[in-house]
Structure 1
Amino acid sequence: MLITSRGTRRWVIPQGWPMKGRKPHASAAREALEEAGLVGEVGKVPIGSYGYGKRLKSREVVPCQGEVFPLKVKSQRKRWPEKGQRSLRWFDLAEAAEAVHEPELRDAIQRAKLLLSSVGAAHVSDGSRN
């Protein structure tokens, strides 16, 4: 699943700031829930990372580095905190890789395809760090 960013409306994966007291993979799972309503089993090892600019409310763009964690989605809630603030769409992995702008994110999505061929269905989410 990809979601649109709130500012530029480009296709991205759920992403956010690190959460105090949470490991990066747990933060990634939390962002997937808050931004897309996704509930599932998150992998503890990132399958990639990517750089991007995060636009703050002040309009300043801050360079960030996000780690990409696989998420085996078990369900999608009917309601979630950011529902209605973004568009979301399920893509197959080849389409998702084409839809994103960040080359390193594209590479991580393509790596997910290799991971899927060995372990079954999963989707990706992000635990970002600036």
Structure 2
Amino acid sequence: MTKPFKKGWAEPVQLPRGTTWHRQVAALCCKKGKAGLKVLLITSRDTGRWILPKGWPMDDRSDPQAALQEAWEEAGVKKARIKHKPVGHFDYYKILSGGVPLPVRAQVYRVNVIAMADKYPEVDERTRNWVTPKEAAELVDETDLKALLRKL
């Protein structure tokens, strides 16, 4: 049997036929300033990798609203305007308990940040950092996300 996963689980490789991609929503948080466009990255809770705020769809919210909720909980985005059409997607493997990789496709929604909070639900669990899109593309692991960031 061929190995369907790549070391580090950062990007998809040959998956067995019939593999189900599980859907998530992600917030591409942006702000414009004197120095140009900046993108907000946060660290993951488990490995400390740089990622976008993301999570599972929510029954009581549209996908863009769910992405905005994740931006609040994980990064402290207090006030923002969100685009209702996704700007793209990226694939990755979420590592479940026991080390089992779950293939995930994250739909990415652009969030234009107006205000940030200093206190938010996951403030003690993550680090956040505003960087240029080029810097963000160098910091994230996912190939499709790198390409999406380079297009900004």
TM-score range, shorter chain: 0.7 to 0.9
Q: Which residue in the other structure is 2:59 paired with?
A: 20
TM-score by length of 1: 0.80
Q: Which residue in the other structure is 1:83 paired with?
A: 123
1:55, CA displacement in angstroms?
Answer: 2.4
Distance 1:57 1:33 in 2: 25
Alpha-carbon RMSD: 1.3
Q: Secondary structure at the match of 2:48?
A: coil
> Which structure 1 residue ranges, 5 or more long, are not aligned?
114-130
Q: Which residue in the other structure is 2:141 paired with?
A: 101
Structure 2 counterpart of 1:68, which letter?
Answer: V
> Which of the pair has the greater relative contact order for Cα pairs under 8 Å at 6+ separation?
1
Distance 1:105 1:37 in 2: 21
Structure 1 counterpart of 2:116, which letter?
Answer: Q
Number of residue equivalences: 112
Q: Which residue in the other structure is 1:36 paired with?
A: 75
> Which structure 2 residue ranges, 5 or more long, are not aligned?
1-39
Matches within 5 A, 1:5-16: 5-16=44-55
Q: Is 1:70 paired with 2:110? A: yes
- Structure with the bigger percentage of strand: 2
1:99, CA displacement in angstroms?
Answer: 0.8
Distance 1:86 1:61 in 2: 22
Q: Secondary structure at the match of 2:106?
A: strand
Distance 2:59 2:100 in 1: 23
- Structure with the bigger percentage of helix: 1
Pick closer, same or farther for the CA change 1:58–1:80 going to 2, 3 Å: farther
TM-score by length of 2: 0.69
Indicate the percent of aligned positions where both proteins have the same amino acid. Answer: 36
Q: Which residue in the other structure is 2:100 paired with?
A: 60
